[in-house]
Amino acid sequence: MPRTRIMYIENKTSGLNGSAWIGRVTFNRTGKSLTYRGRTFQSLKGAGFKANYFDVETGEQFWISGPRRDGADRLYSASSAAVLIDDDVAEEYWRDIRGLARPTA
C-alpha cells in the first residue's frame, strides 16, 4: 500500500507567492518522489531557491511541506492569496491537523 499524507503544495514558478493547495500526496517506495493530481514531483535536494521539489515533466518548482496547525503554510505569510483545500481531504485536514470543525461556506 503506497504511503500518503496531506501536504501543502505551492507553485513557485512565477514568484515567491504562487497558487497553493492542501491535498493528499502519494510517496513512491523510496520517498524521493511524490505524486499529486497526476503530477510527479522529485526533490531538488537542497538546490532550489525557495522551492524543494520540481515537476518532472514541466520543470516547474514547488514548495511542498506538511501543513501547519496554525494554517500559516505559505513560506511568505505576507501573501493574502487563498490556499485551496481539496474536497477529499477537507474534513480530515480541519479535524486532525487544525483541530477545528470544518468551516461552512
Closest CA to 6 of 62, 56, 68: 68
11 contacts 35 by C-beta, under 8 angstroms: no
Closest CA to 28 of 42, 8, 17: 42
d(CA 27, CA 6): 11
- Kindly give the confidence (pLDDT) of every residue in the chain, 105 residues in length, as a single tens digit, with 9 standing for 90 and above: 779 999 999 998 887 788 999 999 999 888 789 999 999 999 887 666 688 899 999 999 999 999 999 988 887 766 678 899 999 999 999 999 998 888 876
pLDDT in the model for residue 15? 78
Closest CA to 8 of 71, 87, 79: 71
